[in-house]
Structure 1
Amino acid sequence: MNRGPLVSVEWLAEHAKDPNVQIVDVRWYLVGKSGADEYAKGHLPGAVFVDLGRDLAGDPARGPGRHPLPDAAAFAATLARLGVREDTLVVAYDDSGGSQAARMWWLLRYFGHPGGRVLDGGIGAWVAAGHPLVQDVPTVEPAPPLGLRPGGAGVVDKAAVARLRGADPRDAVVLDARARERYEGRSEPVDARPGHVPGALSAPFAENLTAPGGTFLPDEALAARYRALGALDAKTVVCYCGSGVTACHDLLALALLGREDALLYEGSWSDWSRDASLPAETHSP
């Protein structure tokens, strides 16, 4: 059974060879491993590897943050290479509960393509269901580049987030999708400063899942989680993370609950933390 942009292993096993379905492997690691190497060791049949830094982000030198959004022409070229047409369903998966796959889903939505999907449970659920992995790289016929336009999903910058600080929770809620130890400033492996945007609430993407790397919680449990954070009632909801990637997981969870208007802080903590003029908190509100 599918839930909005989430597709089940059962559905994908049945539809993997459909000509309008393209499976993409977006495994990525902050340190220690290479997504390309993991893909080479074994991936879903028919899956093409997508590099998060090269294909799902722009040049970090121009910012904001470590994974700025790609421009429309660059993303259109990526989709063309993947054979994606207007009616293609792009099913993304990873091995971390959708934390990178959600970025692919969100970018497709941002650029006006309705076909973004995420494999619920990712490669782990595929293997657990008894389906094989392969090492062969499929040959994909390129498609004509699509005429993409940004704006299908909302984006904000650090100035907008700064204006929302201290707002009445009924008006605005800012959610931090990173692990709690990074939110609280107890660990910061990559960015300029530890801590979080003052006033932001901790909403680790991993808590959207039934288990680490697992499937999404049922809608009732997700609704209870985000209602407790005020995210179902606030007029404005903004999600951020380290660089704008795993925040898309919270945006996906909110979309499942009907909050498709939630916004991404593009540069996220990697953008905020490098600006010494902006404050940081290292405790929970």
Structure 2
Amino acid sequence: MRKIQKWPFLLLIIFCFVSLLAACSNNESSKDTKTDNKKNGTDVKSISTEDVKSNLNNEDWIIVDTRSNDAYNGWPIDGVKRGGHIDGAVDFSADWLKVKDKQLDNKLQQELKDKDITKDKHIVVYDANGKDSKEVAEYLSKSGFKNVYQYDVKEWAAKNELPMESYPNYEMLVPVSWVNDTIKKDNDGKPYKIFEASWGDEAQDYKKGHIPGAVHINTDEVEEGPVWNRLKDAELEKFALKNGITTDTTVILYGSDSMPAFRVAVILKYMGVEDVRVVNGGYTAWANAGFDIEKKENNKEAVASFGVKVPANPDYIIDLAEAKEIADDHNKVSTLVDIRSWDEFTGKTSGYDYIEPKGRPAGSVWGHAGSDNSNLEDFRNLDNTMRNGYEIQKMWEKDGINLENKLAFYCGTGWRAAEVLFYADVLGMKNVCLYDGGWNEWSMDPANPVETGEPTTK
């Protein structure tokens, strides 16, 4: 009988045991990296930069920026090397999950649908702080989404060869963190002014609390009834001098509602102020960030000279005569764009208790707005920050607006259209302006051609 060789047999047992341990270790490691949120009750996987890159143009995948709207627009926030968003990414900010609204979940679900974030796709949610993507991933998981991956965009931003996009003039729309830094650093010596804009002398919201150092502007300081056009140029210059504004002043505007701030901002740009900023999300964004709030009323500080002849940017705001030329443009190189609700555009309502006529200037094109004359849901996110600019432009193109044309925006009396003009400017659109008088002025003269009902052609 042959003797069994013990050493080879023992080595074989040891080898098998070591292999088994290695396999268990690899499986556990794979589990940790691919489903690293299992312990938090979500089924979310991590993903590498290479995998994000390889699936960037895969229609079965969608890349979602979960950071603040400011970061998406272009601000380098949370330590990213480059500001902006991954080329082609949609936005679904974690900030939207915190909005106080009884219909919030329904609105969030509609946002997912509108952005084509669907359960049949692989969804990459990214941020730069580890918190935003986690919150959105958890929301998606609770909503029944399965194929969700988390990613740290700092890795992408650190590689210059990987494509990122920012709006050309994103700095016009500022995050509250930038305002806070500007106050603390005194803007590196450059003159700046902060204004809270609203209608009315009493300024109740301002008195309840405002950004430190802010001065109140009543919109009556820049416009007057019954048309509610901007004041004459000489009066606007007096307004600027009274408020300490020159052509070189960095002007930062905000409000409890942002619409009046955009109205003042557009008029200041028309006058010739070179650096006009509006706080993205308004006073609510400031309060939600937990920054200091001041209650004492700050006085206006006058200056002696504006620095340039007003208006230095006259084409930024146009009046009735030019609006009529645009509406009657048979060459189709310019467009009068209506920034009112659909019911206002089609003539079901005038939108205002002090405007009786209903309809629209003949030849104008609907550019969307919101539910009524006080809202701009079509241009704002759930937290009242600026809507994704590519979605805005896609919406306009769908309704037959040629983005290569000269676009003159109007509304009822200039507020809504001013905000949309500012957004168009943020997006880098060159040939854009405000028709100041809007429907209010147009409707005052029966000789001006008017249309009602749904347009027959786009």
State TM-score, norm by structure 1.
0.85
Q: Give SS of 2:323's match.
A: helix
The aligned counterpart of 1:85 is: 246
| 1:260 corresponding residue in structure 2 | 430
Q: How many percent of aligned residue pairs carry the same amino acid? A: 24
Residues 175 and 279 of structure 2 are in contact (CA less than 8 Å); yes or no, is this contact kept in structure 1? yes
Preserved contact between residue 85 and residue 144 of structure 1 (Cα < 8 Å): no
CA contact (8 A) 1:180 1:204 kept: yes
- Say which of 279, 286, 289 aligns to 1:119: 279
- Which consecutive residues of structure 2, in runs of 5 or more, have no partner in the other structure? 1-69, 76-169, 370-375
Q: CA deviation at 1:229?
A: 4.3
CA distance in 1 between counterparts of 2:217 and 2:282 reads 15
Give the residue type in structure 2 aligned to 1:273: S
Letter in 2 for 1:209: R
Worse-matched range after superposition: 76-85 or 40-49: 76-85
TM-score for the superposition, normalised by structure 2: 0.55
Of residues 257, 269, 273, the one that matches 2:443 is: 273
Aligned pair in 2 of structure 1 residues 230, 94: CA closer, same or farther (>3 Å)?
farther
Matched, 1:109 2:269: yes
1:223 maps to what in 2?
Answer: 393
Which of residues 362, 368, 388 is equivalent to 1:198? 362
Deviations 1:229-259, CA, capped at 9 Å, x for gaps? 4545343211111112321112112112222
| 8 A contact 1:16–1:23 mirrored in 2 | no
Instruction: Write the distance in 2 (CA, Å) between the matches of 1:241 and 1:201.
Output: 12
Structure 1: state its 5+ residue gaps.
Answer: none
Equivalent residue for 1:161? 323
Show the counterpart of 1:128.
Answer: 288
2:247 touches 2:272 (CA, 8 Å); kept in 1?
no
Residue 120 of structure 1, CA deviation? 0.6
Task: Indicate conservation of the 8 Å contact 2:263/2:419, yes or no.
Answer: yes
Partners of 1:133 and 1:282 lie apart in 2 by 47
1:191–1:35 distance in 2 versus 1, CA, 3 Å: farther
SS at match of 1:100: helix
Q: Which letter does structure 1 place at the counterpart of 2:284?
A: G
The alpha carbon displacement at 1:12 in A equals 0.7
In structure 2, how many angstroms separate the alpha carbons of the residues matched to 1:283 and 1:142?
A: 49
* Superposed CA RMSD: 2.5
Deviation at 1:45, TM superposition (A): 1.7
Counterpart position of 2:222? 56
Structure 1 residue corresponding to 2:343, chosen from 181, 201, 204 = 181
1:208 deviation in Å?
1.5
CA distance in structure 2 between the aligned counterparts of 1:279 and 1:115, rounded to whole angstroms: 38
In the TM superposition, residue 182 of structure 1 has moved relative to its aligned partner by 2.1
Q: Which moved more, 1:238-247 or 1:155-164?
A: 155-164
**Hey, which of these two has a bigger chunk of helix by percent?**
2
Work out the number of aligned pairs and report it: 273
* Distance of 1:232 and 1:258 partners within structure 2: 15
**Alpha-carbon distance change, 86 to 236 in structure 1, aligned in 2, over 3 angstroms:** closer
Match of 2:192 among 5, 15, 21: 21
Name the larger-Rg structure. Answer: 2
- TM-superposition CA deviations, 1:97-126 (whole Å, max 9, x none): x32211222112111111211111101111
Per-residue CA distance 1:197-220 (angstroms, 9 max, x = gap): 123222244112113x60001332
For residue 24 of structure 1, give the secondary structure of its aligned residue in structure 2: strand
Q: Distance in 2 between matches of 1:178 and 1:78?
A: 29
Higher relative contact order (CA 8 A, sep 6+): 1
The answer (yes or no) to whether the contact 1:153–1:261 under 8 Å persists in 2 is no
2:203 matched to 1:36?
yes
- State whether residues 260 and 415 of structure 2, in contact with CA within 8 Å, keep that contact through their aligned partners in structure 1: yes
**How far did residue 35 of structure 1 move?**
6.3
